[in-house]
Chains A and B, each alone.
Chain A
Amino acid sequence: MENLHYAYVLIFVAICAIGVNFGFKLKFSKKLKLFLLTDSLILVTYLTWDFWAVSKGSWFFDSNQILGILLFGKLPIEEVLFFIIVPLMTVLTYLALVKLTGWGRTKEGSDDLL
């Protein structure tokens, strides 16, 4: 099970995400297109940085504690999933807080348009 150590982080965040989505009735499945646009920007930016830093040896991973699937021969698949799941959780946290506080709602109430 040692090779799941990194994956535990992703599973933990994913469980939080599912809980927040349903707990706050955020209907995230209707906002997938918007999320894909947002996350594509994050993926391009941070995977480029990650790939470059790993190539240079700025940081590295314990091969016993990751699944062992490497992207471009270098990046653990967990890194790619991290840059999907963490932004997802970020957006869900933001949406839940907007709903909870009523702050930051736009005048047109454009929430319903998506």
Chain B
Amino acid sequence: MIYSDIALNAVFLAVVLDLFLLKSQMMTRGIFWLTYFLILPFQLLTNWWLTSNEIVMYSLSDITGQRLAGAPIEDLLFGFSMILLTISAWEFFKKRSSSKKN
């Protein structure tokens, strides 16, 4: 279940970066969750396309086997971590570039 473990760690890493290192703290803001839940159905759609056509396939020993819209449930963790990290990093760099200019 190596994908499961890494995906969990990715979420953990993204949360720690967001809350404590980049300090964007997007997780505490409604706008982040609104963005996430708008993107989620599109993630499921692309996941479904990629997995139901067997464009990407998974080693069965590396996943839990639980699937959603064709894709391993772990993909939800991966997707969440990437969306959080993207917006958190965006806000971090934005803050940094605007404080430099002031």
Contacts and interface: CB of A to CB of B under 8 A. Distances in A.
Contact of A38 (B35, B56, B90): B90
Interface residues of B, number: 37
A71 to B, nearest CB: 16
Interface string A40-72: 011001100100010011111110011000000
Interface string B12-28: 00000000000000000
Given A13-B46, A53-B6, A60-B57, A94 B98 contact: no
Interface in B40-58: 42, 46, 49-50, 53-58
Contacts of B6: 49, 53
A46 B89 CA distance: 14
Nearest to A56: B2
Chain A: interface residue count, which band? 35 or more
A37 interface: yes
B85 interface: yes
B57 A101 contact: no
Interface in B55-82: 55-59, 62, 82
Contacts of B87: 90-91, 94
Contact of A113 (B34, B53, B101): B101
From DSSP, what is the main secondary structure of chain A's interface residues? helix
Contacts, number: 116
Contact of B2 (A34, A58, A89, A101): A58
Nearest to B38: A93
B97 to A, nearest CB: 6
A103 B85 contact: no
A6 B39 contact: no
